[in-house]
Amino acid sequence: MKKQNGLVKIICLIGLALMIGGCSTIDSVPTSTQIPPTPTNTVMPTAKPHLVNEWTFLGLEGEQIHNLAIDPSDPNTMYASKVNSGDFFKSSDGGRTWSSAQKSGDCSIAIDPVTPSIIYAGSHNNGLYKSTDAAASWSTKNTGLIAAVLDGKEYPVHSICSIAFDPVTPSTIYIGTDLGVYKSLDRGETWNNLGLEKIVSKVLFDPLSPTTLYVVAWNNVYVTTDGGQSFSDAFSLFTSPIRSLVYDPVSAGILYVGMEGKVYKSTDNGTSNWWAESQISSKEVFTLAIDPTNPSVIFAGTLGDGVFISKDGGANWAPFNTGLTDLRVKSLIIDPVSRDMLYAATDNGMYVIRFSA
């Protein structure tokens, strides 16, 4: 029995020594092998799953994010830009972390639908930027976009705030600028002005009519069906600027316009039949998104009252802001693959919400 007790004591002493030794080994790990700090150019969000009907903050705190684009072939790859700065950010993990990329356009972002490593970024003052390596590097593509030459210096068009790819021939691209609509037939290498001398804020194709391009210019909408050779009035029923315009991806003729705290709906491509519910917000409706799997669900982002949701095709609206701490929403985009997650770009970073189980 005494021998057994002595053996137990020896084993205990050995175990204690190993524990002490283990602790001292951890304390003496060289700093070069410790977990490195987060790079200063990467913003780490709170580790938290995407919640149903509750917004989750994704990072870029303090950044006034104006634009967001999601790679349609890999929704984990996302790009965002900051208003009036040229600051550009990229995420490769669905927005959980963001890294600063080379400065480029701050007015619009578009991903080539055929080759997603090709990115276009429109700027307010420096024309159009193009990247062929997923935003690792950029070059300007302003051939044909020069608006003026003063003292030998070329000045490109301003405010390239919308980019649209031809659905039939994606190498053909249209952009909206402060001098009208420009068109490229060679993936942005050269551009031609199409003659619509308006300040254009948005260009978009009808999702059910791939040869029909709509152009938003202040409070008017123009349409072309011949590649920009001619334009005609689509509708101009409003006295205030149109902030956002989206088309129903399933039902022909249904579209929504956001402006002045209201969302207007048309069921005949804006020809005559328009209606809007009472004021849904005291702020501008700046961005709209439609659920592609259930087009009766529409989201409206405002410049101060957050996000609103309609589940009945715009007849009724309700706030959709649980967890959203910044209510100045500049862009709303639905995940193109899962189709059940909505991303919001705000004046204080990025948010996401899962809006269906």
Q: For 177-209, write each residue's pLDDT tens digit.
A: 999 999 999 999 999 999 888 999 999 999 999
The first and second tokens of residue 281, run together, are: 């917000």
Q: For 305-348, write each residue's pLDDT tens digit.
A: 999 999 999 999 999 999 999 999 999 999 999 899 999 999 99
What local confidence, expressed as pLDDT, does residue 57 receive? 95
Superfamily of segment(s) 49-354: YVTN repeat-like/Quinoprotein amine dehydrogenase (2.130.10.10)
> Mean per-residue pLDDT for 8-18?
38
What is the percentage of the chain residues whose pLDDT exceeds 70? 85
| Ramachandran assignment for 343, one of left (phi > 0), alpha (psi -120 to 50 degrees), beta (any other) | beta
The full DSSP string for 215-281 is EEETTEEEEESSTTS--EEEE---SS---EEEE-SSSTT-EEEEETTEEEEESSTTSS-EEE-S---
pLDDT band for 8, please (50, 70, 90 cuts).
very low
Using the predicted structure, report yes or no on whether residue 107 has a pLDDT greater than 60: yes
What local confidence, expressed as pLDDT, does residue 238 receive? 80
What local confidence, expressed as pLDDT, does residue 236 receive? 77
> Mean per-residue pLDDT for 250-276?
89
Q: With contact defined as beta carbons under 8 Å apart, do 57 and 40 qualify?
A: no
To the question of pTM greater than 0.85 for the whole model, the response is no
Q: For 162-182, write each residue's pLDDT tens digit.
A: 999 999 999 999 999 999 999
What is the percentage of the chain residues whose pLDDT exceeds 90? 68
Using the predicted structure, report yes or no on whether residue 65 has a pLDDT greater than 90: yes
pLDDT band for 13, please (50, 70, 90 cuts).
very low
Q: How far apart are CA 125 and CA 119, in angstroms?
A: 18
Q: How far apart are CA 120 and CA 141, in angstroms?
A: 9
Using the predicted structure, report yes or no on whether residue 152 has a pLDDT greater than 70: yes
